[in-house]
Amino acid sequence: MRYSIPIRIRLTIWYVLLVAITLAVFGGFLYFNLARGLYAEVDATLQLVAAQAARDVDNENGKPSFQNAEEHGDIAGRIQARGFTMRLVDAAGNTLDGFGHYSLLPSLRISEGFMTVRISGKPWRVYVLPLPATHGNGSGYLLQVAEPLARVEDILELVGALLFLGIPVVAVIATLGGMFLSGRALGPIDRLTRLVQSMSAEDLSRRLDMKLPNDEVGRLARTFNGMLERLESAFRRERQFTSDAAHELRTPLTVMKGNIDVALARPRNTSEYIRVLEELETQVDRLAHLSENLLTLARCDTGKAPFRPEQLDIVILLEGLVEQVKPLAESKGISVELQGLDRPILMGDQDQLIRLFLNLLDNAIKYTPPGGEISVMVASDGASATIAVKDTGPGIEPEHIPHIFERFYRVDKARARSEGGSGLGLAIAKYIVQLHGGHIEVESEPGRGSTFAVRLPLAIKEDMANK
């Protein structure tokens, strides 16, 4: 058997993978959107501050500068306190005025818009706003506003670090959780496996713990118990069958041995030898009959019983059988007759059906006392035919009825055996009926007689045939 990773581990791996992928996608999305939002806010603030500062540019005497007056000092101070720096640059790139750390700003390539620059290794965001020339002093000049990105970078770094560390931590927790959950879910299955492994054919009477809830595992255990139940009864039947078969074989052999011993005890005359041989012949016939029945049952069990169905008129078949058994019945003073107006056509194996009805007729004759009557009745209901073999024999007590189709089951062991019965006839009959997709049942009134009714499906359903 190829080794495969246990379900518990596979489940955990899948679970952890899913959690990790979900977290990574979610974390990436979060990080990306947060960064975009923060940078957009920096840009918006820069634009706002630039617009404010542009209004405060003093352009008297043709030399623009920030109003240095006290009334603006506090605004500039506030802007500066938040880390902003700004300057005014003319077209040639000369700084005209500025505040904050503007001297650190490098000369910029752009004359309008945003760009990110590095000042002593740290990123800054710069916004450049062109301002028009006034007083006819030539070209205009540029207002450059810059803000350090350190704060944004710090936040992003923190979030990034949290995600970077958080995902593995969550993955570890998910692994432990996954192992725990799948262990809990699959633990009972492991226990079931160990229990089943510890069972052998000898202790099939053991059952799995039935206190399990009605969940998947509980149902598995119950299904298994059901199977054990069937196995146990199959084993029991098998053992019973073997011991019954051995017993059946022993009886005629004992009788034969006894007869031979008696015959050999002293010299006998011819007629005495003939009597012994006749007795031996009876026993040999019985053994042959028994072994044939056993063979039939064995073939049925292995599904190798010959079954060659053909369309047949069951009344013709039964007429033949009634004629065949009549001499035996009449020798016992029993009458046999066939009744019924229907002539159903069945799909059946002729040899098997002959065997089935001969078994039923044999039993009827065997168990009916002299002066009794046996009637075979045929009826059809459009879908199936019912053939009933009714006798006026001793009947069968209700407690025996559920068992008479079992192998070797005999109501009156001594009597049935003296009649040559082995208790297999009805078991074989039942098999044949089942093989034909039919049904057999018995109705009996002790002291008044029994009726064995066989229902077999018709070859052509009548309502279809009439169309």
Site residues, ligand ADP (CB under 6 A)? 359, 363-364, 367, 391, 393-394, 396, 404, 409-412, 416, 421-427, 450
Report, in Å, the least distance between residue 341 CB and ligand ADP.
Answer: 25
Cβ nearer to ligand ADP, comparing 60 with 330: 330
Cβ nearer to ligand ADP, comparing 313 with 337: 337
Cβ nearer to ligand ADP, comparing 297 with 305: 297
Residue tagged 């945003």 (tokens)? 114
Q: Are 376 and 319 in contact (CB under 8 A)?
A: no
Q: Where are the beta strands (DSSP E) in 331-413?
A: 335-339, 345-348, 373-380, 384-391
What H or E segment, with its residue span, contains residue 126?
Answer: strand 122-131
Report, in Å, the least distance between residue 234 CB and ligand ADP.
Answer: 20
Report, in Å, the least distance between residue 459 CB and ligand ADP.
Answer: 28
CA 147/CA 355 separation, integer angstroms: 108
Query: Taking phi first (over 0 means left), then psi (-120 to 50 degrees means alpha), and beta for anything else, what does residue 121 get?
Result: left
Number of H helices, E strands in the chain: 10, 14
Please measure the distance between the N-terminal and C-terminal CA atoms of the chain and give it in whole angstroms: 59
Report, in Å, the least distance between residue 288 CB and ligand ADP.
Answer: 15
What H or E segment, with its residue span, contains residue 158?
Answer: helix 150-197
User: Which of 44, 230, 12, 241 minimizes the C-alpha distance to 127?
Assistant: 44
Report, in Å, the least distance between residue 410 CB and ligand ADP.
Answer: 3
CA 400/CA 413 separation, integer angstroms: 12
Report, in Å, the least distance between residue 325 CB and ligand ADP.
Answer: 13
CA 319/CA 276 separation, integer angstroms: 38
Report, in Å, the least distance between residue 3 CB and ligand ADP.
Answer: 53
| CA distances (Å), origin 33, targets 155, 156, 436 | 13, 11, 76
Q: Are 456 and 387 in contact (CB under 8 A)?
A: yes
Cβ nearer to ligand ADP, comparing 12 with 363: 363
Q: Which amino acid is located at 431 in the chain?
A: Y
Q: Which amino acid is located at 178 in the chain?
A: G
Report, in Å, the least distance between residue 360 CB and ligand ADP.
Answer: 7
